[in-house]
Structure 1
Amino acid sequence: MAADRTRLRNDMLIASTLVVAGVAIAVLSLHAINAAPPQEMAQATQPLQTTPSPEPQQTAPAESKPGGERPTTPAPQPARPDADAQKAGARPALPPAPAEKTAPPIEKK
């Protein structure tokens, strides 16, 4: 019985020490945050300069209109080179798509 009380007292001492240490670390961290001078945020005052691209700019997609009409701009090109480029040795950016897998039809009971 006395051993249980001693063990409980030791466990409570360790637990309370850990709680006090956690609170002390939190207080010191908050003090360090408040003690630092406020930092200023940088703000851009001029527009960013972009380098000219060698390709011509594509047109922006048309805005959608209420009523369900879709934009009329061309769709993006697939990630595969055309047939002439493949003959010349260009490799596609994506691997070939896997073949579809079909299962036998499910029999009705």
Structure 2
Amino acid sequence: MKVDTRDLISITEASSKGVSKLVTDAEAGRPQVLLRNNKAVAAVVDISSIERLQRLDELEDDLRLLSIALVRAAADSGRRYDLDEVLAEAGIDPDSLDDE
């Protein structure tokens, strides 16, 4: 989403415009970026923009998981280990696990 520099407003200016005007502008597709000490600190945007950002977050998470799965699949030797093998390699008596 590109923001027009005319939509950068100070918090003081936003207060004088009023919430209703900020919301009307956002609904019309003009997000308002609020500045405090010339630093962007908040934005008033329409709901569809928020929904889009949430969907992008979900897709980013999905892509991260997919990349992990692909790396694991590429590195998988196919070898599987029996629990008794692992315990023996670690020097753990399987019967001692029942005591806890």
TM range (shorter): 0.3 to 0.5
TM-score (norm 1): 0.32
Structure number with higher strand proportion: 2
- Asked which structure has the greater RCO (Cα within 8 Å, sep 6+), the reply is 2
Structure number with higher helix proportion: 2
**Structure with max Cα Rg:** 1
